[in-house]
Structure 1
Amino acid sequence: MLEGRKWVENGRLLRHRSSMDEAVMGDVTVKAEVRLLPASESGRIDPIRGSYRPNHNFFGPDDLNMTAGAIDLPDGCELHPGQSMEATITFLGWTGLADQVYQGREWRIQEGVRLIGIGRVIEVLSP
């Protein structure tokens, strides 16, 4: 739901990204290892494919501050629960994101509050 220049989603207030925000908060693209948890741990039974856009949590299980980001898998590839692979990920920018993304950094990959995988930065491609 749109209220003025703000988005409301699931009872949480999210700012609408304006063109001014783009100049200040650039997206960050990384090459990362993406490991999906087994279905018995995550509850996810289907593989991911194409450009999958889950939540990315850099601050731990009790923190609901997350960013969206697209995990881009090569054409025809699928990543099944319990597997891992290298992929390109583009995180939507927010103030302070560049400080959180560095080589070796791990974070939680989530669907809502449900943990489905872990990511690890191999290389920062664009800050």
Structure 2
Amino acid sequence: MIQLIQNKKIIGAIIAIIVLSLSSWFMVVSSKENDYTPEQAIERYYKAAQNGDIDEAKKYCATEVLDYYERGNAVFTGTISAAIQDEGSKYEKVQPEKTKITGQFATVSVNLTHQGGDYKTTEDYHLIKEEDGWKLTFQ
């Protein structure tokens, strides 16, 4: 009987260790998924947009932007999907260069090469740090 109780305690301890290990691993994996720079947010947004992966691109749009489109306020640009598709087709190359972070806000100077490569420009992108990472505000 004593042997049975000791075996149950050992099994319980092993299960507890496994559960703690798995939950720690999950927390690390989850935090790394959202642990990206403003530059990476821009690169990931455009990569998804260029590949036509609208849902992935939306992950890098600020909540305020998504809400704006959801409310139907974007009369000239239509839906968020149309806006993302348009952005994805504009540029051949997107190169974030200089970044300035002030608290939860970031401004990234981005070199843009338009399709065909005959026109290049530099624009400032503004981002906000939300709970789940850096997001483009398109302001």
TM-score band w.r.t. shorter chain = under 0.3
Larger Rg: 2
Between structures 1 and 2, the one with greater strand share? 1
> Which is richer in helix?
2
Q: Which has the higher contact order (CA 8 A, sep 6+)?
A: 1
